[in-house]
Amino acid sequence: MTSKDLRAREALIKPKGSQDLSKTCMSLARKFFPDIVKLRRTLHKFPELAYSELETADRMYREMRKLSIVARKGIGRTGVVGRLSGSGRSGLVALRADMDALPVNEESGVPFASRNPGKMHACGHDTHMAMLVGAARILSHLRDELKGSVVFLFQPSEEKNPGGAPAMIKDGALEGADVVFGQHITNDVQVGKFAFRSGPMMASADEIYITVFGKGGHGAKPHHAIDPVYISAQVIVALQAVISRMRDPFDPSVLTVGSVHGGTATNIIPDSVALSGTLRTMSESWRRRALTLITKTAKDTAASFGGRCSVEISPGYPVLSNSPDETEFATEAARKLFGAPAVLKAPPVMGAEDFAYFLRKTPGTFWWIGGANGKIGATSSIHSATFRIDESALAYGSAFLAFLTIEYLRRREYNR
């Protein structure tokens, strides 16, 4: 390597270069901001549920094509993948946004509220798509700064098990990717701030369906019946022992029975009762053991009272665990772009995300981007009918995705 080559490579990682790039990314984000907001509001007006995102996918495809980005539809059923090649060949970065909405009647009061009754972008996926398109616009403008390539993943069905991520992976969406990045809007963080966490960040989520069988009879003659309502109550209580007495206290976990259905009248003991719930864990080893214990505890408890039960487990998303190196890199990139006060450490949460599947396939990280602003009423949590955000977050998220991508490929260029 000549001294000239060394100086050229050093320039790629000098703070001044990063500072110049950060200013450029933010300047472009501000320039494109009106269009990004317009896109977000259009998406918000016309939400579509999991695997029904046909118009949404068409719009994302058109946005890619407008930027002369090679794009494909029908990836993972209704997903879209766009690919932008830069001036170098130092790697491939994957950036993901989810597309589906929730079955919620919107009560946010915004003028661009959902026009599709019973459907709402209550989890902010409209903002995720808008920010990814914003990043694509910035990166297209800075193509010469891109020392490799980037794929834009517009993923369907994040809200519905088994999730759209496995289907996109199966269709090759991550093929050749060296890293995958994703972000999620939240009103748990103030607008203009970002929260990162290395390692386990979001929980696994499995669905549990239990049917307790007894023997029906008259409510006045319980001794002639086997009461599945009473047995179900004992099962519900016994299952909590899996969490309180069989789990390592340092291994976070939640078991919730969310529905109980059985019986038709006050004086009839039914033949069966149906229970359903969810198990959340932060460890795959405990997850596997807990599901075994739940099945055994439910069956043994039912049998001890003369009944029986069936247990069906619907496997959900795995634990979302961020790669340490990629998380550290993204955290430092956020500090460069926005300053240290804007960067927070995220606590682990028991919510689940199918981005976890991408992280099982490819190193990467997932973070929270703040959307909260009490002055404009942006305080409700995601999945709420009153959820709204401070739209200035769209500029921050677009700029950060673009800046992070360029910085990551610069580092790979330097280390080649």
pLDDT in tens, 87-102: 989 999 999 999 999 9
Note whether 332 and 185 are same-domain residues: yes
> Residue 152 and residue 100: Cα distance in Å, rounded?
16
Q: Provide the domain limits for residue 274.
A: 204-314
Examine the domain organization and report whether 34 and 133 are in the same domain: yes
Q: How far apart are alpha carbons 74 and 72 in whole angstroms?
A: 7
CATH of the domain at 228: 3.30.70.360
Residue 5 pLDDT class (50, 70, 90 cuts): very low
| CATH code: domain of residue 19 | 3.40.630.10
Same structural domain, 290 and 334 = no
Last residue within a domain, chosen from 314, 342, 361: 314
Number of domains in the chain: 2
In terms of DSSP bridges, do strands 268-269 and 217-218 run parallel, antiparallel, or are they unpaired?
A: antiparallel
Rounded percentage of the chain residues whose pLDDT exceeds 90:
94
Do 268 and 307 lie in one domain? The reply is yes
**Same domain assignment for residues 101 and 190:** yes
Q: What is the pTM of this model?
A: 0.92
Question: What is the DSSP secondary-structure string of 233-257?
Answer: HHHHHHHHHHHHTSS-TTS-EEEEE
211 and 302 share one domain: yes
Kindly state whether residues 105 and 85 are assigned to the same domain: yes
Is there a contact between 170 and 102 (Cβ–Cβ < 8 Å)?
Answer: no
Residues 54 and 163 in one domain: yes
**pLDDT confidence of 1, banded at 50, 70, 90?**
very low
pLDDT at residue 14 tops 50? no
**10 Å Cβ neighbour count for 270?**
20
pLDDT in tens, 30-81: 999 999 999 999 999 999 999 999 999 999 999 999 999 999 999 999 999 9
Q: For 199, phi and psi rounded to 5 degrees?
A: 80, -155
What lies within 8 Å, CB to CB, of 332 at 6+ separation is none
64 neighbors 84 (Cβ within 8 angstroms) = no
Domain boundary among 289, 314, 339: 314
Residue 10 has pLDDT above 50, yes or no: no
pLDDT at position 415 is 84
What are the respective helix, strand and coil percentages of the chain, to the nearest 5?
40, 25, 30
Q: Quote the CA–CA distance of 150 and 112 in Å, as a whole number.
A: 31
pLDDT digits (tens, 9 = 90+) for 184-242: 999 999 999 999 999 999 999 999 999 999 999 999 999 999 999 999 999 999 999 99
Domain end (from 288, 314, 340): 314
Round to whole Å and give the CA distance between 26 and 237: 54
Q: What is the pLDDT of residues 373-402, one digit of tens each?
A: 999 999 999 999 999 999 999 999 999 999
Question: In which element (H, E) is residue 301 found?
Answer: helix 284-304
Same domain, 209 and 193: no
pLDDT tens string 255-304 = 999 999 999 999 999 999 999 999 999 999 999 999 999 999 999 999 99
Mean of the per-residue pLDDT values of the chain? 95
- C-beta atoms surrounding 249 within 10 Å: 7
- 25 shares its domain with 147: yes
Separation CA 80–CA 153 (nearest Å): 6
pLDDT class of 15 with cuts at 50, 70, 90: very low
Q: Which residues are annotated as catalytic?
A: 317, 391
Q: Is 14 left (phi over 0), alpha (psi -120 to 50) or beta?
A: beta
157: tokens are 């069905």
